[in-house]
Structure 1
Amino acid sequence: MATEQSPSQPPSPDLSGEPGPDASAADIEADIEKTRHELGNTVEALAAKADVKGQAQRKAAEAKARLTDKAVQAREVVAEKASAVQTATQEALTDNTGAVKPTVPVAAIVAASLLIVGILAWRSRR
C-alpha cells in the first residue's frame, strides 16, 4: 500500500532509512556517505575482534601491571614488618641507655627475629 505525499512536503526516506524514489541527488549522496561510515565502523570492529595477537598483548600488559602493583604492595608490607621486627629486637636486646642487656641470650633473640622475618616473607609471597 503506497502512501501519497502532499506536494508541499519534501520527499522523505522510507521506513528502511533509504531515500525514496523521489529523493534528490544530495539525499542519495548523503545516504551513501552514511552507509560508508557505518560500513567502516563495522569493518574496524571486526578487525579488532580478529586481532587475536593484539588482544593477547593487551591482556598480558594488563596482567603485568596488576602483578607489578601487587609486588610493590608486598614489598612495602615486608619492609614495614621488617622494620617493626628490627625495632622490637633492638628494644628486647638493649636497656634504656642503649647498652646490651646482659641477661638476654643474644643468639636466641637474633634467631627468633630471623624466624619471624622469614615467616613474614613467606606469607607475603602467598
Structure 2
Amino acid sequence: MSQSQTPAEIEADIARQREELAGTVDELQTRVRETATRQAKIAGIAAAAGVVVLVGVAVYRRFTH
C-alpha cells in the first residue's frame, strides 16, 4: 500500500484482504474440525479396545480360578 492510493483503492484493498482472511479462517476451521473428528474416532476405538481387554481378562480369570 503506497501513499498515492486513493481512499477507494484503500477500501478495495481492505475488502480484498478481508476476503483472503475469511478464506484462511474457513480453511483452518475445516482442518481443526477434521482433526477433532479423527481424534474422537481414535478415542472411541481405544475405549472399545479397552472394554474388550477387560472382558477378556474377566473371562480368563473366571475360567482359570
TM-score, structure 1 as length reference:
0.36
**Count of aligned pairs between the two proteins:** 52
The whole-number CA distance in structure 1 between the counterparts of 2:59 and 2:17 is 58
Higher gyration radius (CA) = 1
Higher RCO (C-alpha 8 Å, min separation 6): 1
Matching residue of 1:73: 34
More helix by share: 2
In structure 2, what residue type is equivalent to 1:78?
Q
Pairing of 1:85-124 with structure 2 (within 5 A): 85-95=46-56, 99=58
> Where does structure 1 differ by over 4 angstroms across 4 or more consecutive aligned residues?
99-102
Identity of aligned residues (%): 17
Residues 100, 78 of structure 1: alpha-carbon distance in 2 compared, 3 angstrom cutoff: farther
1:59 matched residue in structure 2: 20
User: TM-score scaled by structure 2?
Assistant: 0.67
CA distance in 1, matches of 2:59, 2:20: 55
Question: Which runs of 5 or more structure 2 residues have no equivalent in the other structure?
Answer: 1-7
* 1:39-61 deviation line (CA, Å, top 9, x unaligned): xxxxxxxx6xx311101100110
Gaps in structure 1 of 5+ consecutive residues: 1-46, 103-126
